[in-house]
Amino acid sequence: MIRNEARELKHWFWKYKVKVYDFYHNPTVMYLVAAIILSNFVMECIQRQIDPFAEKYPSVWRVSEVFFSSVFLLELLINMYGSWWRVFFKIGWNYFDMLVVAIGILIMGRVQLPGPLSQILMLRAFRVFRLFGRIASLRKILLSIRKAIPGVMNAFIIMSLVVCIYAVLAVDLFKDAYDDPKLHNSSSAISMRGEVYGKEYYGTFLRALYTLFQILTGESWSEAGVRPLLWQPGLSSIEVFLIAIFFLSFIMINAIVLLNVVVAVLLDGMNSAGDQVDAELPQDKEEGEAVDVDDPTGEKVARRELAEVKAELAGMSTELNDLLAAIRKG
């Protein structure tokens, strides 16, 4: 009797499962959830701009956190009810949603986490990434990038090796720049941090690597990274020319050629992965079509239809055999 009551209770509890699944995956609901996620991110930005220490309007930010955390918790419960349990845990974004909701619960409960664990609350800034799980076009871009990464890594490794080679050469060539005490009176000899220019910028492999990375970004690379070497007192015209060739070749090879190769490989990989991503993303259901939450891919339906076709073919084969037997007898 107890088992029968448990079955009836289970049947009643999951009575609206399919309807809730259809409701939650309705495009209107999806875009509404996306708007709420975006609104939460905008509120986070506004707080960091006008009240970063949460001292001027603490009640406003508290109400905002509680509201958005409650909405996200309700959304997660609706999603879990409609998709429980295999469908729910097959989707990677749902794990991220559970993490976001867990952080929201900690914020609502004003839980004081010990030590470094208190920094986990900063992960709430990543709530906006949930947009990728709600908007199909954004999800397609993210999946395309993920599938293109393996090909990009090969081009990126080549670029990294070339930069490292230049960093090794830069240490050998420029580590002694302005090292002579007689040159310390020069305006470029001592940096703003009180170190000799050559040692600070090219003294070790990691320092040279960082300087070359700065050159690749284009941020004050000429004034900070190159001109002091070109204007070093006592250099001959040939030495100045070779220094210029060193950095110009570095820019040409890495910033113009290899960096664009990485971008080209990324775009090619994204285009190649586009069709595969389209096949993997769930397609929108036609209006009025119910969704089997236990079989979201339609595998069960396909098998049933295949079985029906086989049964029809078997029936036709039997009728054909009977007809041939009758003809032979006749």
Express each pLDDT in 170-200 by its tens digit.
999 999 888 877 777 777 788 878 888 888 9
Q: Is the pLDDT of residue 3 over 80?
A: no
Task: Provide the b/e sequence for 237-272 (b: ≥16 CB within 10 Å).
Answer: eeeeeebeebbeebeeebbeebeeebeebbeebbee
Residue 229: Cβ-neighbour burial (10 angstroms; 0-12, 13-18, 19+)? buried
Confidence of residue 287 (pLDDT cuts 50, 70, 90): very low
Confidence of residue 279 (pLDDT cuts 50, 70, 90): low
All CATH 1.20.120.350 domain ranges in the chain, comma separated: 2-134
Percent of the chain with pLDDT over 90: 27
Which CATH architecture fits 2-134? Up-down Bundle (1.20)
The confidence score (pLDDT) of residue 204 equals 93
Q: Is the pLDDT of residue 322 over 50?
A: yes
All CATH 1.10.287.70 domain ranges in the chain, comma separated: 146-280
Residue with more model confidence, 140 or 81? 81
Lowest-confidence pick of 26-35, 164-173, 198-207, 260-269: 260-269
The confidence score (pLDDT) of residue 125 equals 76
Q: Is the pLDDT of residue 4 over 70?
A: no
The confidence score (pLDDT) of residue 315 equals 67
The answer to whether 21 touches 291, Cβ cutoff 8 Å, is: yes
pTM assigned to the model: 0.63
Lowest-confidence pick of 9-13, 38-42, 224-228, 273-277: 273-277
Q: Is the pLDDT of residue 5 over 70?
A: no
Residues 6+ apart with CB under 8 A from 215: 221, 225, 226, 247, 250, 251, 255
Q: Is the pLDDT of residue 293 over 50?
A: no
Residue with more model confidence, 154 or 317? 154
Percent of the chain with pLDDT over 70: 78
Q: Is the pLDDT of residue 160 over 80?
A: yes
Q: 146-280, what's its fold? A: Helix Hairpins (1.10.287)
Residue with more model confidence, 206 or 276? 206
Residues 6+ apart with CB under 8 A from 291: 18, 21, 22, 25, 285
For residue 54, the tally of other CB atoms under 10 A from its CB is 14
Mean pLDDT of all residues belonging to the chain: 80
